[in-house]
Structure 1
Amino acid sequence: MTDSKPFRGSQETAMTDSKDCILGDEIERIPRELRIIFGNLLLTRRLEERMEEFSIDVPLSKSERHMLVHLGVPRRMGRIAEDLNTQPSTVTAVADELERKGLLERARDPDDRRAWKLRLTDRGTAARRDLIETTVAKFREITGLDAKDMDDLAALMDRVTARILETGFPKGLTL
């Protein structure tokens, strides 16, 4: 017997107390906002867990995967650090590894010769494309949402994202 209600713990727990859920209360009593937050947290953690399996011909750390995603166009290292709310030295260390792996290269910024821009190599562009395609596939697999639900969720999350970014990038979100 499986329990179709959200946020159930182990099947054994679900079967012994059908109103108990992983949030420690009857699911009907938990405000929808907390259910949304918790569901988003579970989704993020599961996706991160599954992305550990992603690999090309060289292993990539979580930070390296994040940087690849943020390099759809050449970007200044300082801007990446600012956008990801991290230290420039962290960006430098991750860039060093990606450069060593042949996935990115540094070039002088033509608008400011003192600054460096990071840009993906052809190999890095292919790795980024594969990473995004894999992430999309894992997301679909994990959520089980159909196309309409996915469109609805994307529209809602676009609104949430825009609202949050009106006040700037959240602190603590780092590589």
Structure 2
Amino acid sequence: MTDEENRFSPETRALMGVFALYWKMDAVIDQTLLTPQMGRLEGRVLLQLDQPRRMGALAQLLLTGPPSVTAAADRLQNMGLVRRAPDPDDRRALLLQLTEQGWEMRRQLEAGASALFRQVSGLSEGEIKQFAALSMKIHDTITGTGEILKDPSQTGDKE
């Protein structure tokens, strides 16, 4: 065991790594991935539109409020990247979906984000797959409830 492993719990080491990754990605993402007209939220919306989604579902996935998603959708629609269409399951509701131009921008964002992640993280291909699986489990846990637990004892886990 290294000195660092002795000094910090696994949870603390995990948090240190996640925070360092976030801070580094945050420091460079605006300069490398987004166009001047598109903000960070718009980029995140595009990445979540792998399928048409309702605004409320997008807000939950992005851990933000529906008014913010609506404003981002308006900006993306004005740029010709998304359109609103009736939800076939509920004609009163609207789905946000990518246009052809939106799909192209999404592909560019995803490729740029992937390259940037590889460069910043220093992880191997196998490590990225492991990290991705664990990260999606965390993402699904948090977005599945739509809220962040304030007290870990609320989970009922006794692990």
Query: C-alpha offsets along residues 6-47 of structure 1, whole Å, 9 cap, x if unaligned?
Result: xxxxxxxxxxxxxxxxxxxx7341223211111111102211
Of all paired residues, the percent bearing the same amino acid is: 34
Equivalent residue runs for 1:31-46 within 5 Å: 31-46=9-24
TM normalised by structure 1 equals 0.72
Give runs of aligned pairs for residues 1-175 of structure 1, distance below 5 A. 27=4, 28-53=6-31, 54-56=33-35, 58-161=36-139, 164-165=141-142, 168-171=145-148
| Aligned partner of residue 59 in structure 2, secondary structure | helix
1:142: how far off? Answer: 0.6
**How many angstroms does 1:135 deviate by?**
0.7
CA RMSD, 1 decimal: 2.5
**Do the aligned partners of 2:85 and 2:94 also contact (CA within 8 Å) in 1?**
yes
What one-letter code is carried by the residue in structure 1 that aligns with 2:82? L
Aligned length in residues: 146
Gaps of 5+ in 2: 150-159
Larger radius of gyration: 1
1:125-147 CA-partner distances (Å, limit 9, x unpaired): 11111111111110100111222
- Distance 1:100-1:159 versus aligned 2 partners, 3 A rule: closer
CA 84–149 in structure 1, closer or farther in 2 if over 3 Å, else same: closer
TM-score (norm 2): 0.78
Is residue 77–residue 92 contact of structure 1 (8 Å, CA) maintained in 2? Answer: yes
Q: Distance in 1 between matches of 2:146 and 2:110?
A: 22
**In the alignment, which residue of structure 2 is the partner of 1:16?**
none
Deviation readout 1:66-108 (Å, 9 max, x if unpaired):
1001111111112222333433222111100001111111112
Question: What residue ranges of structure 1 are gaps of 5+ in the alignment?
Answer: 6-25
